[in-house]
């Protein structure tokens, strides 16, 4: 346990029990959504490999606890949480491809293209993205289905834009010539990871059926700060941890010459930014009562996680 983790009374290796209690239901639900009637078994297997491989389920958990913070019970968020997780898994599969980040290891196992070939990784990623929308349309009441589809399409579009900037840079963008590295970094990460984390919280809150505009706004503020914090921690882990510990290749950002928080601001300043972002996120949900405790605990955990 790190000093930072001890300070918050959280085991940095795992989520608090009260927060993680939803995981079995999330996992069971995920297993039901990757069955595709009539699909070739090899495609279904590839989709399952990419989605049932022991991810943290951070996004469905955020959706679950944002649903609770908005007066829901939690399980109403399962379709939204699963759809976001499908999109998250699709993005990992495509980002790992040789033409992008060229990663061989993900969650301690071979990446999908190492396991099933590049063609299958491209196609299974496509199928996961597509399936996320079908899932929302099929499993939610009409108004909620449409509202969450809009959120998801918008967040996914921002995520892809962030990935384009992260992988290919800002070339050809006349506006970007005025931005320094810090501005570029924020732009990349608000898209690449931030947008989908914000969507997790918003779609989960919407799933409660009782989220007021003001509380949705407060939750969005929470998610924006927590999302940026999540990425800074990710960049720090890439510098400070071993592959064996995180289950994915580390040290790769520097190797690829990518903009990172420790690279731009230094390790110490990045650590301070993590604490600032954590506090900003927690302040955003101060008006909420006990029912937002899950979100607060996730936020504190994300500040001290070590993988």
Closer to its own copies by Cβ: residue 99 or 214: 99
> In degrees rounded to 5, what are phi and psi of residue 106?
-150, 125
> In degrees rounded to 5, what are phi and psi of residue 105?
-130, 135
Least distance between its own copies and beta carbon 140 (Å): 10
275 in Cβ contact with 3 (< 8 Å) = no
Least distance between its own copies and beta carbon 256 (Å): 12
Least distance between its own copies and beta carbon 53 (Å): 19
172 Cβ contact list (under 8 Å, min separation 6) = none
In angstroms, rounded to a whole number, what is the distance separating the alpha carbons of residues 154 and 224?
A: 15
Closer to its own copies by Cβ: residue 3 or 99: 99
Least distance between its own copies and beta carbon 262 (Å): 24
CB neighbours (10 Å) of residue 305?
21
Closer to its own copies by Cβ: residue 102 or 280: 102
Distances (CA, A) of 135 to 78, 138, 163, 191, 219: 11, 5, 24, 23, 24
155 Cβ contact list (under 8 Å, min separation 6) = 84, 87, 195, 196, 198, 199
Distances (CA, A) of 167 to 96, 98, 101, 210: 11, 12, 8, 39
Least distance between its own copies and beta carbon 4 (Å): 35
Closer to its own copies by Cβ: residue 95 or 294: 95
Closer to its own copies by Cβ: residue 126 or 181: 126
Closer to its own copies by Cβ: residue 62 or 124: 124
Least distance between its own copies and beta carbon 275 (Å): 29
Q: Residues interacting with its own copies, by CB under 8 A?
A: 36, 38-43, 45, 90, 94, 97, 99-100, 117-120, 122-123, 125-127, 129-131, 133-134, 137-138, 142-143, 145-146, 149-150, 152-154, 156-158, 160-161, 163-165, 167-168, 170-174
């Amino acid at each position: 346990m790190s000093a930072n983790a001890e300070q918050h009374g959280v085991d940095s290796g795992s989520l608090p029990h009260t927060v993680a209690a939803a995981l079995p239901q999330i996992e069971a639900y995920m297993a039901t959504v990757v069955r595709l009637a009539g699909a070739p078994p090899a495609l279904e297997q590839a989709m399952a490999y990419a989605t049932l491989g022991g991810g943290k389920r951070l996004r469905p958990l955020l959706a679950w606890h944002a649903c609770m913070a908005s007066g829901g019970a939690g399980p109403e968020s399962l379709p939204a949480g699963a759809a976001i997780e499908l999109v998250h898994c699709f993005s990992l599969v495509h980002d790992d491809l040789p033409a992008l980040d060229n990663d061989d290891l993900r969650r301690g196992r071979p990446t999908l293209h190492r396991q099933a070939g590049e063609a299958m990784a491209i196609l299974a990623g496509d199928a996961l993205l597509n399936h996320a929308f079908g899932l929302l349309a099929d499993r939610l009441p009409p108004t909620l289905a449409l509202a969450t589809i809009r959120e998801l399409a918008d967040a996914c579009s921002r995520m892809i834009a962030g990935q384009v900037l992260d992988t290919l840079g800002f070339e050809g963008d006349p506006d970007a010539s005025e931005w320094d590295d810090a501005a570029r970094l924020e732009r990349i990460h608000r898209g690449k990871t931030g947008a989908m984390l914000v969507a997790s919280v918003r779609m989960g809150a919407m799933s409660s059926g009782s989220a007021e505009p003001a509380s949705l706004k407060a939750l969005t503020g929470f998610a924006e700060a927590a999302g940026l914090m999540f990425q800074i921690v990710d960049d720090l882990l890439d510098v400070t941890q071993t592959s064996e510990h995180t289950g994915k290749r580390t040290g790769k950002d520097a190797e690829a010459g990518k903009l990172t928080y420790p690279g731009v601001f230094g390790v110490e300043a990045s650590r301070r930014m993590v604490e600032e972002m954590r506090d900003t996120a927690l302040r955003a949900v101060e008006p909420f009562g006990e029912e937002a405790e899950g979100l607060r605990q996730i936020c504190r955990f994300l500040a001290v996680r070590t993988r």
